[in-house]
Structure 1
Amino acid sequence: MPSKDFCPCGSGETYENCCGRYIEGKALAPTAEALMRSRFTAYVKGNVDYLVETDFHEVDVEATKAWMEEARFFRLEILKTYKGKALDKKGRVEFKAHYRTPEGQERVHHELSDFEKYKGRWYYSGGLAAD
């Protein structure tokens, strides 16, 4: 029987019906926003492999693991999506990722993330911190 666990990305869907299918390799994220949400979920779940797999650039795995330990993400806000639809080749997602530090302080990471579609698959291609 499917789990009733809601997806950490905040879509209101279950993990299995939302980001889980992308993270577990059952489907490819159809849009830049779907990839953004699934990457956030991968941070929440500690899935470094998915982050490496969906990044256009080489990923510093140790630094990524350290960031996951430092930032316990608990809420995602999608502020705006620029392009990044199924037929686009590029897209940008502005978001705020809310997290807690190991000391329990709440913080917000505000970013403009860029995505590119290559051979039918969306990849994270870089980001700029906002604010």
Structure 2
Amino acid sequence: MRPAPCPCGLAASYDACCGRFHDGGVAAPTAELLMRSRFSAFAVGDAGYLLRTWHPGTRPRRLSLDPQQEWTWLEILGRTGGGLLHTEGTVRFRAHYRHHGRDGFLEENSRFRRDGGQWVYLDAEA
């Protein structure tokens, strides 16, 4: 039986894709891969990873995830910077979910920055 694809939408299995970032074995090399891994963290309920990859200047003290919210799929709508040679980047996305039997989505343009050589989520642009 073939493993299910990663929640982030890439074809690789969770372990081969975002799971390797979640377990701390390796850091996401680009802002988009960090964004995808953060979506997957919401999908699998990994609040610790979300906090670890949040910029210290904007990170909340605690993060509670709603177990009734099922994150179903992710669309990447655009990006700027965020590559191997950049220090900042943005990723515009639409994250689809199901909550109490109703479908919805969150659309955002997230800003990312390198902190200590690793990509972290900074905030969302309006």
Per the TM superposition, whether the score is higher than 0.5 is: yes
Amino acid at match of 1:106: D
* Deviation sequence 1:74-105 (CA, Å, 0-9, x none): 10000111110011000000000000112x11
* Counterpart residue number, 2:81: 83
Note if 1:14 corresponds to 2:18. Answer: no
What's the counterpart of residue 109 of structure 2?
Answer: 112
Amino acid in structure 2 at the alignment position of 1:44: A
Q: Which amino acid aligns with 2:33?
A: A
Q: Compute the displacement of 1:30 (Å).
A: 0.1
By how many angstroms is 1:72 displaced?
1.4
Deviation at 1:70, TM superposition (A): 4.8
Q: CA deviation at 1:18?
A: 0.7
- The alignment's TM-score, normalised by the length of structure 2, stands at 0.91
Amino acid at match of 2:90: R
Q: Which runs of 5+ in 2 are unaligned?
A: none
Distance in structure 2 (CA, Å) of the matches to 1:119 and 1:20: 22
Letter in 2 for 1:71: Q
CA distances 1:4-28 after superposition (whole Å, capped 9, x unpaired): 1310000111111111110110100
- Find the aligned partners of 2:31 and 2:69 in 1 and give their Cα distance: 23
Output the CA distance in 2 between the equivalents of 1:128 and 1:69: 26
1:71 Cα deviation after fit: 2.7
| 2:121 paired residue number | 124
Can you give the 5+ residue segments of structure 1 that lack an aligned partner in the other structure? none
Task: Give SS of 2:71's match.
Answer: strand
Aligned residues: 123
2:64 match: secondary structure: helix
- Secondary structure of 2:74's counterpart equals strand
Please provide the CA RMSD for this pair. 1.4
SS state of the match for residue 65, structure 1? coil
